[in-house]
Amino acid sequence: MRTIPGKITAHTGLLGVIGYPVEHSLSPLMHNAALQAQGLDMVYLAFSVQPFHLGAAIAGARALGVRGLNVTVPHKEAILGLLDGLDDLAARVGAVNTVVNEDGRLVGHNTDVVGFLEALETSVRGGASGRRFLVAGAGGAARAVVAGLCREGASQVWLYNRTEERSQALCRVARGWGPTECRVASAPMLREIATCVDVIVNATSVGMGETVKSTPIPVDIVDSRHVVFDLVYGPRPTALIAHARAQGAVAMDGKEMLLRQAASSYELWTGREAPVEVMRIAIESVGS
Ligand code: ATR
């Protein structure tokens, strides 16, 4: 059977996102809207993959000839050793959010870096250059954020994470990414650090789903001078976003970054320029 426009047939290619949890993901809405708008014979699904199943999921994707995957919490780093190759940026960052099936070889990429930087530009004129940041988190998302900040010449990055060994490890790597001064923050230092940073970024998973009322840092360190960028997105604002807005600070959730990284992933899979406005409408229809 040949491709029939708008129908799933034996030729239809499979794309998807793997994560745990993944039920909140807006990626299927965005990517299916884009594929349909461009008449491409592919579908995009969400797969809830527990950490102990990651190896089996990747082997399965390879065996089934899945065309491409997005990778989200908590697999962005764990997946590195399971792939057949990495592009330069993913290897340098040490995290993968996009997998491309290149003739049977699963190759990891990282479109979070460009997604983060493009989204940041929409709220911080001139972007990261010369600015000071407090970043919460030290997982795969935080690695992409810090790599982007170093690439764009942020002057200072303070890294705060629940597990300090991970922020120390990320800081050590980041010192090789450029002249940005990267330092580890401990909890008692946060209040003072907040007084001398311009932008506060949540790159933890705190605020997702059930944890919408939890915050990765004490919210009362945020004031009206700050720009707050919470990578989490969901139907309701996170407690961090809600508090920042109440203080009069500029605050953005993770939807813009989601959109920008998705557009880059789509381009890697399809070789086509992504219909960004179609994708934006698809996620805006869900509300925030
Ligand atoms: P990803 O690769 O998508 O970033 P991850 O590697 O699991 O996912 O990282 C999740 C981040 O959220 C980590 O910084 C994690 O902190 P730990 O390194 O201490 O695990 C952070 N995180 C997750 N749940 C948290 C919680 N309840 N409180 C504070 N930080 C949390």
Mind listing the pLDDT tens digit for each residue in 183-197?
999 999 999 999 999
Instruction: Tell me, using a 6 A CB cutoff, whether residue 76 lines ligand 1.
Output: yes
The SS3 assignment for 34 reads: helix
pLDDT of residue 2: 64
pLDDT of 101 reads 98
Amino acid at 272: R
Q: Where in the chain is the domain with CATH 3.40.50.10860?
A: 13-109+256-284
User: Average pLDDT, whole number, for the chain?
Assistant: 95
Task: List, for residues 238-278, the tens digit of each pLDDT value.
Answer: 999 999 999 999 999 999 999 999 999 999 999 999 999 99
Give domain 113-253's CATH superfamily.
NAD(P)-binding Rossmann-like Domain (3.40.50.720)
Which segments in the chain show pLDDT lower than 50?
288
Q: Would you say domain 13-109+256-284 falls under CATH 3.40.50.10860? A: yes
The rounded Å distance from CA 139 to ligand 1 centre is 6
pTM of the model: 0.94
Say how far apart CA 93 and CA 84 lie, in whole Å.
17
Q: Does ligand 1 lie within 6 Å of residue 143's CB atom?
A: no
Kindly state if the Cβ of 205 falls inside 6 Å of ligand 1.
yes
